[in-house]
């Protein structure tokens, strides 16, 4: 039996009710030809700035600061979104009366999901927030830090400041520590998927749920099918804001096969790195399904009239998350772990009527949960490393750190001081640390050698794999990284305090990523389509 409202009101939020899930950010299509509004009086009175987004239902305010791409006057335009309601997008610039090929670009734009049948009296909203993050050990949510200005205003009589105010907000500090069981994070750290190989099943029109892809087995474009509709919507599925007949049959799409997917990742050397969003939700226990939304015990559709809109469910949506640093850690006898330091575009408190986790309340049913052995992490014992043209079996521990040096930028015309305009990547770095037992002076010789280790010996290759004896699973899950042109920067050889083996600490820096691959069952809804 569900807990009564009176009981819930007195119940505290517990860690047992906290969850964090991933939301893909990918280009999603609004319509082929849209007549813009001319009277958005509540949004500055700018003519031709009102863009309807029916039948999509958007989370109000979530897409402020995002980019809307459209065509008018024979020219493709990129316009900043000033604000949005559930059914309208407001721009800060005028457009033609009709705009064509209208899409919202990925950065900071979580993919919407269909509404759910709850007891909310207003408009319900939801996002594709039912994607599993993997085996998360610890998660540090980001914090909102407004910059404070304090002034004296040339007024005397007190040693206190005489005026203070808030300037721009920065959302920062998010981090994840994960026991690594898939290679999807390499995509976000490196920036691009160059090739994908996978199997396809039956025509997508015969299915209404699950993942689908283009008919070919090399398509990088994966979509979700929910009740017969594609998410994120593509240009093949929407015309003038209305789902077409072709969309209902998913012409050109196939159900994604059940076998492994092989991704090849490459470096992205310009523009924005791929991004994703996070949903952080806190909920009280035993909520009835019909009450599973923000404001479930509010008395109205407006937060000002709701009794207590977040008394039972509280959700925050962190947008435009990008990987600033990714560190792979592997240690004798342990699972492979990765730590991720993130930057973010902004954070929104989910509004009334928002349904968390795309209404997926069963943790075992989150997307990309496959069950053992697919879900188990890579182990140190699964790994192999190649250094100096030979496979080293005497590595005790090590780490690889990929650094993107992302710096926040705020541009004029962003219209919202609570969001970053973009994060621009700087110098990319690949740094290695190893603790090893040595059999010769090779490492020491390379330290004293002039310049890089280039040809022949100039390879650092890491591979971790998961295998099973159960042939019916057809499992061959691995990540593989190959770096070239590295330099040995330090070799620390301690003088022993006992008669045991010498453990040597070595640091190296690589200049070139030769290849990066991941094969497994994890589906990445990416931004390369």
Indicate the domain borders of the chain: 27-105, 199-258
Question: What average pLDDT does the segment 206-232 reach?
Answer: 76
Residue with the bigger pLDDT between 502 and 111: it is 111
According to the model, what pLDDT value does residue 244 have?
45
pLDDT of residue 42: 47
> pLDDT tens for residues 473-509?
445 899 999 998 888 888 888 787 777 787 888 888 9
The whole-number pLDDT of residue 224 equals: 85
**Dihedral pair phi/psi, residue 290, rounded to 5°:** -65, -15
Q: Which of 10-24, 228-242, 360-374 has the lowest mean pLDDT?
A: 228-242
Banded model confidence at residue 162, pLDDT cuts 50, 70, 90:
confident
Query: Residue 413: what pLDDT?
Result: 66
pLDDT-based confidence at residue 251 (cuts at 50, 70, 90): low
Following CA atoms 20, 25, 29, 34 in sequence, which dihedral angle do they give, to the nearest 10 degrees? 80
Answer whether residue 26 shows pLDDT above 50: yes
Percent of the chain with pLDDT over 90: 36
Phi–psi pair at 404, nearest 5 degrees? -105, -15
- Res. 238: pLDDT tops 80: no
Q: What are the distances in angstroms from CA 396 to CA 328, 358, 391, 461, 504?
A: 14, 43, 14, 16, 10
Q: Give pLDDT tens digits for 81-94.
A: 988 999 889 887 77
Q: Which pLDDT score is estimated for 299?
A: 44
How far is Cα 341 from Cα 23, in angstroms, rounded to an integer? 17
- Identify the pLDDT of residue 475: 55
What the block records as the tokens of 496 is 């022993």
pLDDT tier at 340, thresholds 50, 70, 90: very high
What mean pLDDT is predicted for residues 257-267? 91
Q: What are residue 424's DSSP bridge partners?
A: 407
Extract the tokens encoding 359. Answer: 């209404």
Tell me the C-alpha to C-alpha distance, in Å, between residue 109 and each of 66, 280, 527.
Answer: 7, 16, 11
The contacts of residue 274 (CB under 8 Å, 6+ apart) are: 25, 106, 187, 188, 191, 192, 268, 322, 526, 527, 528
Stated pTM of the model? 0.89
Q: Is the dihedral of CA 306, 316, 521, 470 positive or negative?
A: negative
Chain CA centroid to CA 302, Å? 30
- Report the alpha-carbon distance of residue 497 to residue 9 in Å, rounded: 62
Whether residue 312 contacts residue 287, with contact meaning beta carbons closer than 8 Å, is answered with yes
| C-alpha–C-alpha distance, residues 179 and 237, integer Å | 38
What pLDDT shows up at residue 156? 74
pLDDT in tens, 59-105: 999 999 999 999 988 899 999 998 899 988 988 777 888 888 889 99
Better pLDDT: 200 or 441: 200
Task: State the pLDDT at residue 345.
Answer: 92
Mean pLDDT of the chain: 82
- The sign one gets for the Cα dihedral 384, 386, 390, 393 is negative
Residue 317 has pLDDT above 50, yes or no: yes
Looking up tokens 């389509």, which residue turns up?
529
**Residue 457 confidence class, pLDDT cut points 50, 70, 90:** low
| Torsion, Cα of 212, 264, 528, 248 (10° steps) | -10
Query: Strand (E) positions, 473-528?
Result: 477-492, 503-520
Six token digits for residue 324: 């600033």
Give the contacts of 196 (CB within 8 A, at least 6 positions apart): 218, 219, 220, 261, 262, 263, 264
Q: In what order do the strands lie in the sheet with 28-35?
A: 28-35, 98-104, 67-72, 75-84, 88-91, 50-52
How many Å apart are CA 421 and CA 107, to the nearest integer?
A: 9
Q: What is the mean pLDDT of residues 278-299?
A: 82
Alpha-carbon distance of 333 to 328, in angstroms, equals: 15
* 449 vs 151 pLDDT, higher one: 151
């Amino acid at each position: 039996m569900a807990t009564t409202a009176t009981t819930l009101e007195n119940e505290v939020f517990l860690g047992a009710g906290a969850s964090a899930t991933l939301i893909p950010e990918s280009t999603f299509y609004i319509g082929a030809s849209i007549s813009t509004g001319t009277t958005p009086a509540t949004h500055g009175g700018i003519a031709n700035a009102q863009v309807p987004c029916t039948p999509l239902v958007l989370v109000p305010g979530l897409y402020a600061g995002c980019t809307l791409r459209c065509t008018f006057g024979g020219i493709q335009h990129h316009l900043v979104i000033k604000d949005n309601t559930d059914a309208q997008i407001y721009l800060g610039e005028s457009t033609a009366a009709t705009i064509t090929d209208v899409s919202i670009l990925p950065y900071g734009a979580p993919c919407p999901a269909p509404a759910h049948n709850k007891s909310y009296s207003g408009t319900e909203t939801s996002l594709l927030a039912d994607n599993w993050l993997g085996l998360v050990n610890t998660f540090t949510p980001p914090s909102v830090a407004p910059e404070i200005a304090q002034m004296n205003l040339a007024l005397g009589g007190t040693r206190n400041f005489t005026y203070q105010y808030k300037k721009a907000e920065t959302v920062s500090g998010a981090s994840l520590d994960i026991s690594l069981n898939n290679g999807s994070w390499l995509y976000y750290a490196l920036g691009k998927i160059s090739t994908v190989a996978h199997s396809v099943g039956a025509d997508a029109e015969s299915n209404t749920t699950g993942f689908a892809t283009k008919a070919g087995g090399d398509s990088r474009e994966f979509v979700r099918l929910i009740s017969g509709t594609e998410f994120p919507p593509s240009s093949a599925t929407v015309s003038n804001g209305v789902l077409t007949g072709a969309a209902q049959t998913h012409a050109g799409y196939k159900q994604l096969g059940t076998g492994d997917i092989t991704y090849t990742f490459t470096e992205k050397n310009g523009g924005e790195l791929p991004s994703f969003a996070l949903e952080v939700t806190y909920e009280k226990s035993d909520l009835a399904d019909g009450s599973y939304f923000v404001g479930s015990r509010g008395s109205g559709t407006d937060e000002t009239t709701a009794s207590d809109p977040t008394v039972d469910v509280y959700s925050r949506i962190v947008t435009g998350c990008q990987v600033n640093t990714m560190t792979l850690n592997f240690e004798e006898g342990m699972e492979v772990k990765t730590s991720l330091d993130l930057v973010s575009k902004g954070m929104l408190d989910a509004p009334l009527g928002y349904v968390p986790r795309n209404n997926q309340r069963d943790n075992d049913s989150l997307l990309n949960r496959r069950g053992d052995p697919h879900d188990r992490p890579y182990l140190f014992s699964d790994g192999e490393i190649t250094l100096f043209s030979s496979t080293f079996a005497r590595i005790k521990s090590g780490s690889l750190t990929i650094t993107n040096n992302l710096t926040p930028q705020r541009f004029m015309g962003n219209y919202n001081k609570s969001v970053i305009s973009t994060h621009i990547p700087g110098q990319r770095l690949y740094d290695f640390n190893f603790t090893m037992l040595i059999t010769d002076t090779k490492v020491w010789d390379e330290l004293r050698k002039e310049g890089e280790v280039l040809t022949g010996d100039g390879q650092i290759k890491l591979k971790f794999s998961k295998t099973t004896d159960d042939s019916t699973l057809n499992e061959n899950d691995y990540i593989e990284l190959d770096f070239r042109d590295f330099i040995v920067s330090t070799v620390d050889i301690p003088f022993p305090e006992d008669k045991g083996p010498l453990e040597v600490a070595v640091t190296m820096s690589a200049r070139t990523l030769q290849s990066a691959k991941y094969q497994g069952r994890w589906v990445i809804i990416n931004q390369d389509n």
